[in-house]
């Protein structure tokens, strides 16, 4: 199963969000210092839909896609190990709406 946590955190950082503190379990609290707004995210998010929902609620106009996740995170070896079209969702990394 794909872990969207690192990619979600990278997108938050790119949009000015900062890690504030750990939350309960494997959650993290992030803050946008410009607005003072905070958000709790699952550090090991396995749901692309939940990750995209968080980005949408924060007003970030990007969507996470399943297929280019290894390339987006810089893991070229994992990307090479994937089948060509055999059960692997197309990887696109990040795409603007």
Number of domains in the chain: 1
> pLDDT truncated to tens, each residue of the chain (97 aa)?
788 999 999 999 999 999 999 999 999 999 999 999 999 999 998 999 999 999 999 999 888 887 646 555 565 434 333 333 333 233 344 444 4
Please state whether the predicted TM-score (pTM) of the whole model is above 0.75. no
Q: Return phi, psi of residue 47, to 5°.
A: -110, 115
Domain that holds residue 13: 5-96
What is the 3-class SS of the chain, one letter each residue?
CCCCHHHHHHHHHHCCEEEEEECCCCEEEEEECCCCEEEEEECCCCCHHHHHHHHHHCCCCEEECCCCHHHHCCCHHHHHHCCCCCCCCCCCCEEEC
């Amino acid at each position: 199963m794909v872990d969207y946590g690192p990619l979600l955190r990278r997108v938050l950082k790119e949009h000015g969000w900062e890690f504030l503190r750990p939350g309960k379990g494997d959650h993290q609290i992030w803050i946008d210092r410009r607005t003072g707004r905070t958000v709790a995210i699952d550090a090991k998010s396995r749901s692309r839909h939940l990750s995209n929902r968080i980005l949408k609620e924060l007003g970030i106009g990007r969507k996470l896609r399943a297929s280019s996740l290894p390339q987006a995170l810089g893991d070229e070896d994992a990307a090479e190990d994937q089948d060509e079209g055999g059960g692997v969702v197309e990887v696109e990394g990040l795409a603007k709406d």
